[in-house]
Structure 1
């Protein structure tokens, strides 16, 4: 018997099938438990996290976020003013607040607009620093009042 004719006593070892993927070993190079051992584990670098906090560099997805909602304008009709005020009275934001026609929300006085509504207007009142619709302005001036913006 020659040396090149010798055969090993045991057959070749089967490949270990534990773990699969990665290099080798039971845990495929991922170690045991923890965030990085889980499936789909992708931990972004600190730089990427920092960039995400800067709005301009975040990208289009974040630029079109909904804008802050403006507070609604409180509408007061001329019929309410006719019931509340007498001839010759002055009407402005402070007076509307004191009479309880409008309410301040969290310390802020809302924007107020006077609308004509339906019907006529006969009181002579003086409006100042309030938004007024065109028809309401005509009715107030027709009754003898004045509107100052």
Structure 2
């Protein structure tokens, strides 16, 4: 036995049912859909959530809370992650994207997770108060 004569086990592969290919196939004319009715038509089929005319579950349940459409999502960056950068240049959101720390188009917030020893300059969308204190205590600056 070698790779040239390998084949699937008998019965493992099954041909798909080819519908609407004449009366000799047994699946011609109506193509297994029967005569008339909703399910015989093209584009038919019960849509997700449809419960036969009964009020669907997603409409029966009450809405809860408040959904702020103006909410801004921030990607969190910790001080430990900023430790890897060189102290001389300014750490911007673009620099974090290039380093692979955050994804492109993300707003960044620096949190005080970990510690920082280098004097770094940070210029991002948001910084927590504690993170700002720690960066400035290490001789750095938040722009």
TM superposition score normalised by structure 1: 0.47
Structure 1 or 2: more helix by fraction:
1
Larger Rg: 1
